[in-house]
Amino acid sequence: MGMDNDTYKLVVIVGSVREGRFGPVVASWVAEQAGIHGGFDVDGVDLAEIDIPLSLPAASPKIAGDGYPRPAGMGALTSALEGADAFIVVTPEYNHSYPASLKAAID
């Protein structure tokens, strides 16, 4: 739970990082709607501001557990998600899938 026992902490993630992208406009609208709902303490994470690596450590987080060497630069995203009760991903469709930025962040 977020700030108090009646408020869930919701993180809205902007999944696109493209120059001139529209994603932040949609994410702002989503965050505003969640604010109007009143049951959420809303936070935002923009993947364009996170240093997301395409190259990953040898072991997967599932296998390495707490010993997983989290890529530097991902700290802000990790702590935002760790503190969240729920999250919404605002993503475009690129070539019939979601963008590489989002896939890399999930991985």
Ligand X SMILES: Cc1cc2nc3c(=O)[nH]c(=O)nc-3n(C[C@H](O)[C@H](O)[C@H](O)COP(=O)(O)O)c2cc1C
Q: What residue ranges bind ligand X (CB under 6 A)?
A: 16, 18, 21-23, 92-96
Q: Toward ligand X, which CB reaches closer, 1 or 25?
A: 25
Smallest distance from the beta carbon of 105 to ligand X, in angstroms? 14
Structure-block tokens of residue 2: 């977020």
Residue closer to ligand X by CB (options 23, 71) is 23
Backbone angles phi, psi at 7, to 5 degrees: -120, 125
Minimum distance, C-beta of residue 90 to ligand X, in the bound complex (Å):
8
The distance of closest approach from Cβ of residue 96 to ligand X in the complex, given in angstroms and rounded to an integer, is: 4
3-state SS, residue 48? helix
CB of 1 to ligand X, least distance (A): 31
Backbone angles phi, psi at 40, to 5 degrees: -125, 145
Which is closer to ligand X, CB of 9 or CB of 21? 21
Q: What backbone torsions phi and psi does residue 49 show, to the nearest 5 degrees?
A: -95, 0
Closer to ligand X at the Cβ: 21 or 103?
21
Helix, strand, coil shares, percent, the chain, to 5: 35, 20, 45
